Amino acid sequence: MVMTKEARRGREPTGVARVSAALWRRAWLRAALTLSPPLAWFLIIYLASLVVMLVTAFWTVNSFTNNLQHQFSLTNFGALFDAPIPAIIGRTVLLAALVTVTDAVLALPFAYFMARVASRRVRHALFVAVLLPLWASYLARVYAWIVILTKDGTLDWATQRLGLGSPNIAYTNLAMGIVFCYIWLPFMILPVYAALERIPDSFIEASADLGARNARTLRSVVLPLALPGVVAGSIFTFSLTLGDYITPLLIGSGSGTNLIGNVIYDNIGLANDLPFAAALAMVPIAIMIAYLLGARALGAFEAM
Amino acid sequence: MKNRTFFRGRAKRAVVAIAIALPLLGAFDSGAVAASGATVRTADGALTPPTQGMTPQQSVGKGEGELNLIAWEGYAQPEWVKPFEQETGCTVNAKYAGSSSEMVSLMANGGGGQYDLVSASGDADLRLIYGGDVKPVNVNLVPAWKQLRPFLQSPDFNTINGVHYGISLQFGPNDLLYSTKVFPKAPPSWSVIYSKQYAGKITVPNNPIQIADAALYLSAHQPKLGITDPYELTQSQFNAAVTLLKQQRPLIKAYWNLASDEISLFANGEVVAGASWPYQTGQLQAAKVKVADTIPSEGATGWADSWLLAAKAPHPNCAYKWLAYISTAKVQAEQAVNYGETPDNSLACPLMNQLQKGSCDSLHANEPDAYFKSIKFWKTPLAQCDNGQDNCVPFQQWATAWTQVTG
């Protein structure tokens, strides 16, 4: 009996077998089934929330009840041009650019050493060193910087020993810049490393064979090939600085240190002015779209 | 590569996203962020809370077995929640909110039929009341209500037109914290935080409501402006306060966000004076930092919390049992000492000293009435002033102006 049952099963395909056969015959169905859950997620959770935010930016807050009023209005976008918002946007973009340049300058020699000079073991150790801070909480690392930068903190203590006075730079734009450079550095090192590692040794040898010295090889071969990696890394450092609100709240709470991120945060948390926060949130998105289009022109996405 | 396809396909996807978003927006409309309940305006233009006409219950029945609270962290500690649960059989589920705005969002639509009570602060109360999210409370069902300090029985932040929407809970002043090394005697005026003499050594909270502190200072020093209520400012009064704060900006070391930020600023000696709460003073003095606090001659602003009853509270009997319990002198003393704030129940002082010696004095629970009268409690600035005119500056503009102040 058992034998015949199994034999019959072998002849007549079961439901599962039929489905798998159908999927094998129709490749498009297979693709649709595997892609639709993540795609639906992407559309509903990610893009739809962006659309909701965009729509919110056209609403206003009732000044009597502080409730949202669903009436189309451009006042929130107009308010983006009122002082001090343009200055805050300018400060944020400038800081993001400076952080990006600093990180690129720091990351290039480091990534070059990792990719082309270090032995396998040293490279692994450096990888761990780059990634280790990412395992610790962002907040804990920012607070560690407060301890370093505050009055009579680690930095002041060190400079006083060296007879350089006490800089006491906590709660300033400089302090924010330093912390951003530190926190986003791994996001610059890794893509630059990936770009440098892909340069074939033969390119360097060919350059030497053609009579180029080290400096010329670096300038004409290594740096151009590393550039897509730098641009890819800069997308991270630039966009993360552009949107961050925790560091400005904790490190930059002095005067004249508002960034886009914490102004959005204040408008949601303290002021309950969601429409203006949504309008202001469009600014970094617009800046990043322009930035990404520029980065694509430089071929940054091949390096990712 | 993925990013390239994203760019190419973005127009098509945006259309799909909008198609998905539109029904979502419908849900959004009736959901948490939308206007909850229509605010009614009477013929003379005065605002009326939408739930004003609801008749509160006249007696407390058997508990429903559950009680859902929205509270500040520390307001539903096991020390007083456990005995309440044993006594009443109401299991307490507390949801902690991080900000007044979060409380307002959670309470939208009368608490959504989910929450019973919210421990709202004065800057959220009027939003909840005029939003129709809370309903009238029968104070006769709260025996200890009569023991509350008289000025907290029917304060204007939770009682409108004689209708109570909640029971006052605890309060604290925004006082002047100073280093006793720099100031051997308490500064008699708030002028120290506006004085160039202490440039770079001042801290104030990073909060738009700080404009009220400036207005309070101006009400004493520039009487021509005619400021009577620091939360109801005409445009010219408001501008004067903002100008004062802009002049103060170069003197500020940091605008503090968390109480712990201010504590470390004083502990490190980065600042010598600032606007603060008694909580910071207690923490710093316990750490042997030489500081003290005072309420200068101009008076001070302050915060006061109340338990407000959700319009759709699903467990009203347990809610009333909680209101009665939390107002008693014993529980008030426990919460005051635990959290570092001043109890509203006037009989709590000796019980506080039993829990922690000297806590009644340090938390100002035994001060004369003149002390309490010098505190102007936070309330939401609305466009409509108390005189019924619509020429006051609403909170939204306070927030915008505060960004201008901090730069």
* pLDDT tens profile B290-332: 999 999 999 999 989 999 999 999 999 999 999 999 999 999 9
Range of the domain at B155: 56-171+303-365
Residue A71 located in a structural domain? no
Q: Residue B58: what are its φ and ψ, rounded to 5°?
A: -100, -10
- The helix/strand/coil state of B164 is strand
B270/A170 touch (CB, cutoff 8 Å), yes or no:
yes
CA-CA distance, A91 to A84, in Å (whole number)?
11
Q: Which residues contact A278 (CB under 8 A, 6 or more apart)?
A: A53, A54, A56, A57, A76
Select the residue from A60, A63, A65 to test the B interface by mutation, using most B Cβ atoms within 10 A: A65
Structure tokens at B186: 């308490």
Closest CB to B20 among A43, A253, A292:
A43
Task: Name the domain count of chain B.
Answer: 2
- Confidence band for A304, pLDDT divided at 50, 70 and 90: low
Residue keyed to tokens 């520039």: B222
Bond into A167 cis (ω within 30): no
Cα separation, A272 vs A266, in Å, equals 8
- Provide, as residue numbers in chain A, all residues whose Cβ is less than 8 Å from the Cβ of B252: 254-255
Which of B36, B400, B405 to probe by mutation at the A interface, max A CB count within 10 Å? B400
Residue A15 burial by Cβ neighbours in a 10 Å radius (0-12, 13-18, 19+):
exposed
- What CATH number does residue A266 fall under? 1.10.3720.10
**B36, B47, B99: residue with CB nearest A64:** B47
- Residue A264 contacts residue A277 (beta carbons within 8 Å): yes
CATH number at residue B187: 3.40.190.10
**Which tokens in the block code for residue A193?**
């490393």
Compute, in degrees rounded to 10, the torsion defined by CA atoms B199, B205, B208, B209.
Answer: -110
Tens of pLDDT along B218-250?
A: 999 999 999 999 999 999 999 999 999 999 999
Terminal-to-terminal C-alpha distance of chain B: 41
Q: Which residues of B touch A70 (CB under 8 A)?
A: 29, 34
B222 and B110 in a single domain? The answer is: no
**Same domain as B162, residue B136:** yes
Asked whether A273 and A267 are in contact (CB, 8 A), the reply is: yes
Task: With CB atoms and an 8 Å threshold, state whether B254 touches A272.
Answer: no
Kindly state whether residues B228 and B361 are assigned to the same domain. Answer: no
A166 lies in some domain: yes
Under 8 Å CB-to-CB from B185, ≥6 apart: which residues? none
Cβ–Cβ of B35/A68 closer than 8 Å? Answer: yes
Residue of A nearest to B23 (CA): A48
**Would the CB atoms of A254 and B255 count as touching at under 8 Å?**
yes
Structure tokens at B126: 């009027």
Domain match, B164 and B241 both:
no
Name which of A224-238, B181-195, B390-404 the model is least confident about: B390-404
Considering the domain architecture, whether residues A52 and A149 belong to the same structural domain is answered as no
Nearest chain A residue (CA) to B396: A271
Q: Which range, of A163-172, A196-205, B224-233, B313-322, averages the lowest pLDDT? A: A163-172
Coil, strand or helix: which one is A132? helix
Cβ separation of A171 and B25 shorter than 8 Å? no
**In a shared domain, residues A28 and A154:** no
Whether this prediction's pTM lies above 0.80 is answered by no
Determine contact, residues B236/B222, Cβ cutoff 8 Å.
no
Q: How near does any CA of chain B get to the CA of A262, in Å?
A: 10
Domain match, A234 and A271 both: yes
| pLDDT tens per residue across span B65-121 | 999 999 988 899 999 999 999 999 999 999 888 777 778 888 887 788 899 999 998
Which domain covers residue A20, as residue numbers? 2-56
Tokens of B18: 């909008």
Same domain? For B276 and B400 the reply is yes
Same domain (yes/no): B141, B233: no
Q: Looking at the structure, do residues B234 and B120 belong to the same domain, yes or no?
A: no
Same domain membership, residue A152 and residue A10: no
**Interface list for A 148-177 with B (CB within 8 A):** 150-153, 168, 170-171
| Complex ipTM over 0.90 | no
